[in-house]
Amino acid sequence: MLFGPFVYDEKIVLAGPLVRKDVDILKAEGFDLIVSNRPDGEAEKQPTAERMRGVIEAAGMRFVHIPFKGSKMSVADVETYATAVAPARKVLAMCATGTRCAMISTAADVRAGMPLEEAIAKAKGAGFDLSAMDGFIGSFAKKAA
C-alpha cells in the first residue's frame, strides 16, 4: 500500500492504492471485502476496477467499486457503501490516499445516526482531519420525517 493502512475502527481499515502483493496479505489477515472509492483513470498506470475485481475475487474476497471525486460523493454512494460493509467481517477501503475512504466511512456513520462531532473525531483518530468538511459530511445525516 502506498498510503496507510489507517485503522478507522475495529472493522474498517483505510488505505491508498494497492499493489498485487497486498491482496494476498489482506486475505491472510482476514479481510473479506475491498472497497475502491477511486475512479478509473485517475492516475497513470492505475489498474481498472474490473482488473482489481478479478485479482481480489480470485483471492476469495468481495470487491465493491464506489468511485467518486471529492464533494461529488452522493447519498447513493454512502448508502451503497454502508450496505456493502454491513455483512463484512473486515474491510479495506482504498482510494488515492485514504481521504475519500475516510469521507465515505464518516458520512456512513453520520447517516447511521452517529453524532457528527463523534464521527469527525473518529476520522481524526484514524489520521484524517475532516473538520473543514463537517457541513458537507453532516448533510448525509438522515432527515427527520
The model's pLDDT over 58-67, given as tens digits with 9 standing for 90+, comes to 999 999 999 9
Whether residue 40 is predicted with pLDDT greater than 70 in this model: the reply is yes
From residue 145, how far is each of 29, 78, 107 by CA, in Å? 42, 20, 19
Is 21 a domain residue? yes
Domain count for the chain = 1
Range of the domain at 129: 6-138
CATH of the domain at 57: 3.90.190.10
With bands split at pLDDT 50, 70 and 90, how would you rate the model's confidence at 114? Answer: very high
